[in-house]
Amino acid sequence: MTSENVLNTLAYASDETEFYAPMPAGYKPGKTKYVFVFGTVMSGLGKGIFSSSLAKCLKDRGLTVAPIKLEGYLNLDSGTLNPYRHGEVFVLDDGMETDMDLGTYERMLDQDLSQLNFATSGQIFRRVLDKERKGSYLGRDVQMIPHVTGEVKIKLRELAVASDADVVFVEIGGTVGDVENAYYIEATREMAFEEGPDSCAFVALTYIISPPKLGEQKSKAAQLGIRGLLATGIQPHIIACRAQEPVTRKVLEKIALYSNVPIDRLFSMHDCDSIYVIPDMLRGAGLDDQVIDILRIQDRCHAETGIHAREAWQGFIGRLKSATRQVRIGIIGKYTSVRDSYASILHALEHAGTALGARVQVEWIDTTDVTDERADEALAGLDGIIVPGGFGVRGAEGKIACIRHARENRIPYLGICYGFQMAVVEFARNVCGLQDASSTELDPDTPHPVIDILPEQKQIEGLGGNMRLGGRDVQVRPNTLAARLFNNAPEIRLRFRHRYEVEPAYIERIESAGMIFSGKAPDYPIMQILELPTDVHPYFVGTQAHPELQSRPLRPQPLFLGLVRAAVQRAEQRVLASTGQGASL
């Protein structure tokens, strides 16, 4: 049976057929090709970075690409996951709360993603169970194969239809051998069978161990990992070997021998300084050519697009490597021991720094025991500070003390979401004279609830997926710092994830004391950006949004650019004061 036949045969498994491949409306067999990326040996190999870099290489050849991450866990989204364990929650424009890898894809591809680009086992099973209740399975017993795997295939094909992509990149979470991901792997095998020859490329990422005592690379774990994949009925086309150092020819030959993968389809993916050099590393090794060859899509590539995209990227890498100005920015938060909890902020700082020729050194500040008296000491030597998003009461008073110190001592400040709210609390207490002003998240009985729960949040119960989430339009007030930063655009779009807001009853009081709300929601009195006048403070800005989620290597986010620019100026004034020299921005 040809692939075309398989696709047309069915529809729903019934008494007449065992196949189960319902096609979403508009699906064009053969139009979209698929690349499946699996991890073997262990997690934490940077599968997302690898897949997104490879997807970028293909995009830079003029192909349209659409990534999707398949997560094994049963949560419906990543919103309820603890950032300590799982890294930051990344919010997409449509409000989907996802794994941080989606951030890597958005940054690498400079492409906005949506819920179509993210699946969890929870979502897949929910769809299956909803269909079961509606009687859609026509009296059949509902099984892992073909129904659950069928739902995975529908999800992949829905993305193909919606994106009209040349290539859908599918990253399977976890490691081959995990029980929770096994049905995803099975679905990809079925997919390749149904779609037919030249339609799917299977890529395995593996790890080459170098025990320090032995002083040589050992390939056994990688061989066993690949064997695990072969046992699922999948023959990888390409194997990428993660390692500390470049993988030796001898090791690559061994892996070729055990995996049936020719040596020119085995790649060394050794550690490098920045994730942004990986696309060039993959291109240099010819990985994109191999994928294009496997999928037979040479005729869809455009050489022109490629040249421009590569030049722009190399320009970015050049600036990244040559940045010399040093700035120190403090991140003041609760999860500061886990860098992944603030991944997007770190990237946003790097993008802004690179655009300004600056290397941003991040200092982590734990505020658990910072007070007004000790803020000076805690923030000594910093050129700028960020209070990032957060929840709950722990460390809040320390953050407020740091914000006060930044405001009074003209230290560049960017408050993100919770950091915006705490800046309002600090200002209300210390400038507006509203004693004990607070957020009702910290103190439900405060006499001055300057930050209070959004009205739409009052009726909601439970903590899953119900914050004010996703992209929203923001009106920018003309002739403000925000207006300058956003090039005088009257309306911009930012991404949100919050339950609390500035209580509208206090807006006038706060503004009359000198704080400017320079960004607002178009239809409601929801304050979205705050600032102090630049003659009072060089850079004191807060936003109810999460601007870090929208920063891209070649398009740094304006509020971060503003912070880093002000921090560079502060750093240089310090140098100037001590040496009598300086540079201008």
Catalytic residues: 417, 546, 548
117 vs 439 by CB, closer to ligand GLN: 439
**Stretch of residues binding ligand GLN (CB under 6 A), selected from 212-220, 240-248, 384-392, 513-521:** 384-392
Nearest partner of 540 among 503, 514, 506, judged by Cα: 514
The answer to whether residue 391 forms part of the interface with ligand GLN (CB under 6 A) is yes
**Stretch of residues binding ligand GLN (CB under 6 A), selected from 12-20, 287-295, 397-405, 495-503:** 495-503
**Stretch of residues binding ligand GLN (CB under 6 A), selected from 24-32, 376-384, 498-506, 558-566:** 498-506
Nearest partner of 547 among 456, 482, 464, judged by Cα: 482
- Applying the rule CB under 6 A, the residues between 276 and 295 that interact with ligand GLN are none
Contact 261, 239 (CB under 8 A): yes
**In the set 347, 497, 537, 565, which binds ligand GLN (CB under 6 A)?**
497
2 vs 459 by CB, closer to ligand GLN: 459
The answer to whether residue 418 forms part of the interface with ligand GLN (CB under 6 A) is yes
**Stretch of residues binding ligand GLN (CB under 6 A), selected from 12-20, 210-218, 267-275, 389-397:** 389-397
Region of residue 41 (phi > 0: left; psi between -120 and 50: alpha; otherwise: beta): left
Give the amino acid at 252: L
The answer to whether residue 310 forms part of the interface with ligand GLN (CB under 6 A) is no
Backbone angles phi, psi at 514, to 5 degrees: 115, -5
20 vs 420 by CB, closer to ligand GLN: 420
Give the amino acid at 83: P
Binding letters toward ligand GLN, positions 55-94, x by CB under 6 A: ----------------------------------------
**In the set 404, 498, 537, 570, which binds ligand GLN (CB under 6 A)?**
498
C-alpha span between 29 and 3 (Å, rounded): 9
Nearest partner of 49 among 269, 354, 305, judged by Cα: 269
The answer to whether residue 313 forms part of the interface with ligand GLN (CB under 6 A) is no
Region of residue 58 (phi > 0: left; psi between -120 and 50: alpha; otherwise: beta): alpha
Count of residues in contact with ligand GLN, rule CB under 6 A: 10
Which residue has 């000594």 as its token pair?
A: 380
364 vs 391 by CB, closer to ligand GLN: 391
Which helix (DSSP H) or strand (DSSP E) does residue 200 occupy? strand 200-207
Contact 302, 62 (CB under 8 A): yes
Contact 459, 569 (CB under 8 A): no
Which residue has 């809040």 as its token pair?
A: 396
The answer to whether residue 417 forms part of the interface with ligand GLN (CB under 6 A) is yes
The least distance separating ligand GLN from the CB of residue 498, rounded to whole angstroms, comes to 3
158 vs 548 by CB, closer to ligand GLN: 548
The answer to whether residue 374 forms part of the interface with ligand GLN (CB under 6 A) is no
The answer to whether residue 390 forms part of the interface with ligand GLN (CB under 6 A) is yes
Which helix (DSSP H) or strand (DSSP E) does residue 160 occupy? helix 149-163
190 vs 441 by CB, closer to ligand GLN: 441
The answer to whether residue 389 forms part of the interface with ligand GLN (CB under 6 A) is yes
Instruction: Report strand pairing: 516-520 vs 527-531.
Output: antiparallel
The least distance separating ligand GLN from the CB of residue 440, rounded to whole angstroms, comes to 10
Sign of CA dihedral 287, 291, 296, 300: negative
Which residue has 């079925």 as its token pair?
A: 190
The least distance separating ligand GLN from the CB of residue 390, rounded to whole angstroms, comes to 5
The answer to whether residue 441 forms part of the interface with ligand GLN (CB under 6 A) is yes
Q: How many residues does the chain have?
A: 585
- Applying the rule CB under 6 A, the residues between 499 and 528 that interact with ligand GLN are 499-500
Nearest partner of 365 among 403, 392, 391, 422, judged by Cα: 403
319 vs 499 by CB, closer to ligand GLN: 499
404 vs 497 by CB, closer to ligand GLN: 497
C-alpha span between 493 and 547 (Å, rounded): 10
Contact 55, 105 (CB under 8 A): yes
C-alpha span between 314 and 320 (Å, rounded): 10
Q: Which residues bind ligand GLN (CB under 6 A)?
A: 389-391, 417-418, 441, 497-500
